[in-house]
Every structure is written in C-alpha cells, then in structure tokens.
Amino acid sequence: MRAFLALLAGLWATAATATEANTLSVQVNYLRVERPAPPTLSNLEPIPDDLGIAGAQLGLADNTTTGSFLGQTYALDVVSVPEGESPLEAARSALAASPYLVLDAPAEALTAIADMPEAQGALLFNATAEDNSLRSEGCRANLLHTAASLSMRSDALMQFFASRRWATLALVEGPRPEDAAFAAALRASATKFGLRIEAEKSWAFDADMRRNASAEVPLFTQELGEHDALLVADETHDFGRYIAFNTWLPRPVAGSEGLVPLAWSPVIEQWGAAQLQSRFTEAAGRPMASEDYAAWAAIRTLGEAVTRTGSADPATLRSYVLGDNFELAGFKGRPMSFRPWNGQLRQPIALAQPRALVASAPLEGFLHQVNELDTLGIDAPESACTAFGE
C-alpha cells in the first residue's frame, strides 16, 4: 500500500510539475455523473447541457489570468459519465492524472469515489450535492463542498421569516426524494429559528396544472389554515410554479418557488457580482446558476491556494484551504472560507425572487461567536463529522 501511494505521489508530481522554482502547472479534472432529468410540467427552463461545467471553465479562465503573472498555468479536463455506467473507472483515470477533482455527482457516487484508494491524499470538491449527510456523518476528509448544503439554504429562508416575524408557516411537499429532503431541512430550520410549520400537505395531483391550477390550488390550499407564508418543496421545479397567486389565502410562496434560497442567482448584482455575471454570460451564453457558481468556487479555491502558497502539493493546499488564512472573494459581500470540521465552504445564501435579490443571509442580527456565516447550515457542535478531526 505504501509503495502504491508513493507511486501515486510520483504520478501526481508530473500533474503538478515544478519545472522552475516558481513555475507551476496545475491540472484539474471535472467529472460529471449524468442523471436522468425528471419530467416537469413546464417546458420553460431547459437544464443547460453545460450546467456546472461552464462555471468550472470560467474558474479556469480566472485562474489562468492570475497565473500568467506568476508563471502558473492551469488546465481543465471534463469527463461526463453516461447514465447507467459506473463513475469509478472514470474517477480512477482522472485521479491518476491529477489529485484535483471537481465532482458533479449524487451523494453515493461522491462517497464511493472519495473512498477509493486512488483518492486518498487527493482533494475532491463536491460542486452539486446538497445532502446534509455529506457534511455530517457521511463526510470524507478528502471531500470539500463548494455546493451549499440543504440546511444552509433552509436556514437562510428561516432567518428571513424570523426577521420578518412570519412565524406561522405551511408546507406543500412534492412526491420526489429531493422534495422530501428539502422539506426535512425546512422543518429542522423552522425549529432552529423558533418558527412553526402548522400544516403540511403532500402534492397529489397528476393533472396538468398548466390548465387547471386556478381551479385546483385554491381548494388544495384551503385546508392549510392560517399561515404567514406557504413553503413549497418541489426541488425539480415540477408543480411549484403553479401555486403562487392560486392559494386560498393571499400568501407569499417560498422554498423551491417564489422566494428561493440559493447559493447563486442571476439577480445578484451587488458586491461586484455584476462583473462575474457578465463574464459568465459572455462565455457561456446563458445566466449563471448555483451549480456553475459552486464549480467556479472550487476551481478558484484551488487557484487561490496555489497563488498564496506557491505550491501544487495536495496536502499543502488542503491544509491552507482549511486554515485560518484562506479567504475567497466570492462576489457575495463577505470573505468565504471552509469549515474545518466538515469541509463545507462558508458562504452567504441569496434569498431571490425571479427579478430581484430580496435579502442575503446571514441576515442582520443573527450572530455567531465565531463567524456569522456559521448561522447557516451544520455548525461544529451539530456535525457528526469526525473525518476532519485528525
């Protein structure tokens, strides 16, 4: 095993060659595990083919420009694993070429890749999976998360309700596992911030709501009783869009539709974000999504660590990234850093409606003894992650 690791380290040395004292070339691989897109009622927003990938490419371009002044070069290879194929083989060859791997994969694939012998000592970035378990009992020491977790998003929304004193909520939950996971996060966050979800219903229609939402939704929501805001857990954006303005009571909709907590949104334009948005839109020909942002942040994290340490060694970069001196300027108004207890990128969460940013969490008044960003998501005492302990 030891010999094998030594061999591996030798291989990586070629991936990150120091030809001169201060000349570095850093190879990053991006691995996408393709998943079937669930059917949705509306055809309005197709999922872009290059979701996530375009963000990684922008991150690479940003790193390359910076690197050009320091004799550092960066390269990015993208591999997409077709549906039904095991991602492990692709991960193995990616890890043979470089210790730096950005992943767009479901949770089970992420942990399987992180547990491969070839991944020990590598630095993996989760750019899309929001599962709370990956930041808690299911964490891995070699897996950092630039994607925001579900609980970061749900905490952001509940901070907003708490600050508005909208204390009584109702919830409509969709039938898919993603919907259940988001609903669970919303319930936990409501409890955390002292709000009550007084009524819940499961979405149980198979009719085409594009035609009859105005007839069905008022009756469906009538039973929810009195509430200040209606939460919708519909993470595949199937039915939720037909609920707003069709509710029995005139109430704002939030969650997966209406006011949505997001790591990134095209409506963010403060804090210099307009520049990132325009760079992205120019390069990709479409607006920037949360998945693109997380992939961009992963590549920029690497670039920032390489620039500041002058090293391309994965252990050096990992300890710098998890240390106190690391900070990433992420166009969200606060320096971003990684939580040393579970590898999650601390970041503000946007509360966005389709046409404007409503607020940015952490909201004013939600204080924390260490970092206000840690009022969002799994804080050190709540995390069951032990892999980062050593």
Q: Indicate the DSSP class of residue 165.
A: T
Q: Which is nearer to other proteins, 31 or 373 (CB)?
A: 373
Return the structure tokens found at 43: 């055809």
Q: Which is nearer to other proteins, 123 or 328 (CB)?
A: 328
| Chain residues that interact with other proteins, rule: CB under 8 A | 62, 65-66, 68-70, 272, 275, 278-279, 304, 307-308, 327-329, 333-335, 371-373
Write down the least CB distance from residue 367 to other proteins, Å: 8
Write down the least CB distance from residue 66 to other proteins, Å: 4
Write down the least CB distance from residue 279 to other proteins, Å: 7
163, 184 Cβ separation under 8 angstroms: no
State the alpha helices, DSSP H only, in the chain.
Answer: 2-15, 53-68, 87-97, 107-114, 150-164, 177-192, 209-222, 273-284, 290-309, 314-321
Q: Which is nearer to other proteins, 229 or 322 (CB)?
A: 322
254, 229 Cβ separation under 8 angstroms: yes
291, 51 Cβ separation under 8 angstroms: yes
Q: Which is nearer to other proteins, 6 or 70 (CB)?
A: 70
Write down the least CB distance from residue 331 to other proteins, Å: 9
Write down the least CB distance from residue 295 to other proteins, Å: 16
Q: Distance (Å, rounded) from C-alpha 158 to C-alpha 147?
A: 19
β-pairing verdict for 229-233 and 196-202? unpaired
332, 297 Cβ separation under 8 angstroms: no
Q: Distance (Å, rounded) from C-alpha 350 to C-alpha 362?
A: 9
Q: Distance (Å, rounded) from C-alpha 123 to C-alpha 286?
A: 29
Write down the least CB distance from residue 124 to other proteins, Å: 24
Q: Which is nearer to other proteins, 118 or 372 (CB)?
A: 372
Q: Which is nearer to other proteins, 57 or 142 (CB)?
A: 57
| Angle in degrees, 0-180, between the axes of helices 273-284 and 53-68, rounded to the nearest 10 | 110
Write down the least CB distance from residue 334 to other proteins, Å: 4
Q: Which is nearer to other proteins, 142 or 347 (CB)?
A: 347
